[in-house]
């Protein structure tokens, strides 16, 4: 069952620069505190959705061109919402729940922990402080980061697709590719991500197959309020 669903999802989202990776809710819940658990049975089928570098040209720019008068919030969020919501039409007989990466709970916590989901689904390895044996940071707060085996840090985790009526007790878990395997490189990665993230060097910690175009880099380096202008949009004000 998982294979058929995955094939249909890839057919719907792949041409627009998205990747999908299957996981069981139980794999995700098993590594998190109860406050972050997804409220579904352990064997529930879920997919984490990533945007790859090609999403900018394949999905965002055509979406902006077509929907320019309807864009009232972050264009990328609205584009992702459009494509993921469109997936429901591909599954008329199934309930499909969607959680977007930008959604938060009343407590201000995110609705799901994106990097944990990517790791348990085998999509991208979530490198954390515990992955470095000789910790050089003392009392500093160190955040972890996911690295994709093909795109390095040039990708984003956009949401979850959950299928509450599909249980997959026999789904086998695949470990993510440990592509930053040396102690030295892991230390360098976390150092760059935590203290020099603006220059984006952490994204190239491995040799990547594809990265963001110069146009895309400029877009994401621009403060959100000014991104509308880069896309030729005028921000609507209430």
Q: Taking the model in full, what pTM does it have?
A: 0.94
Query: Angle at the Cα of 128 (from 127 to 134), degrees rounded to 5?
Result: 110
Q: What's the rounded Cα separation, in Å, for the pair 14 and 218?
A: 24
Q: What's the rounded Cα separation, in Å, for the pair 100 and 52?
A: 16
- Contact between 121 and 23 (Cβ < 8 Å): yes
Residues 6+ apart with CB under 8 A from 137: 129, 190
Query: What letters, b where the CB count within 10 A reaches 16 and e where it falls short, cover 45-67?
Result: bbbbbbbbbbbbebbbbebbeee
pLDDT tens digits, one per residue of 100-136: 999 998 989 999 999 999 999 999 999 999 999 998 9
pLDDT tens digits, one per residue of 156-207: 999 999 999 999 999 999 999 999 999 999 999 999 999 999 899 999 999 9
Q: State yes or no: pLDDT of 73 exceeds 70.
A: yes
Dihedral (C-alpha) 17, 117, 11, 53: value to the nearest 10 degrees? 10
Give, in order, the Cα–Cα distances in Å from 155 to each of 53, 135, 188, 198: 6, 27, 19, 15
* Direct distance between the N- and C-terminal alpha carbons of the chain, in angstroms, rounded to an integer: 46
Give the other-Cβ count within 10 Å of 238's Cβ: 3
Choice among 106-115, 139-148, 201-210, 217-226 with the minimum mean pLDDT: 217-226
């Amino acid at each position: 069952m998982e294979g058929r669903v995955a094939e249909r999802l890839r057919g719907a989202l792949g041409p627009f620069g998205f990747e999908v990776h299957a996981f069981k809710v139980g794999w995700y819940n098993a590594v998190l505190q109860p406050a972050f658990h997804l409220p579904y049975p352990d064997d529930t089928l879920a997919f984490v959705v990533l945007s790859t570098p090609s999403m900018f040209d394949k999905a965002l720019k055509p979406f902006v061109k077509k929907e320019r008068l309807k864009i009232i919030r972050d264009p990328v969020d609205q584009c992702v919402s459009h494509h993921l919501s469109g997936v429901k039409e591909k599954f008329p007989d199934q309930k499909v729940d969607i959680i977007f990466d930008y959604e938060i709970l009343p407590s201000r916590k995110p609705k799901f922990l994106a990097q944990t989901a990517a790791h348990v689904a085998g999509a991208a390895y979530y490198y954390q402080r515990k992955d470095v044996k000789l910790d050089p940071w003392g009392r500093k707060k160190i955040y972890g980061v996911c690295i994709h085996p093909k795109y390095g840090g040039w990708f984003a985790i956009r949401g979850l697709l959950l299928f509450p009526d599909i249980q997959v007790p026999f789904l086998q878990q695949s470990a993510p590719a440990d592509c930053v395997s040396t102690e030295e490189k892991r230390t360098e990665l976390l150092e760059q991500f935590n203290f020099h993230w603006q220059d984006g060097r952490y994204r190239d910690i491995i040799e990547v197959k594809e990265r963001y175009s110069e146009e895309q880099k400029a877009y994401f380096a621009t403060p959100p309020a000014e991104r509308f202008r880069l896309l030729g949009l005028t921000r609507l004000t209430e």
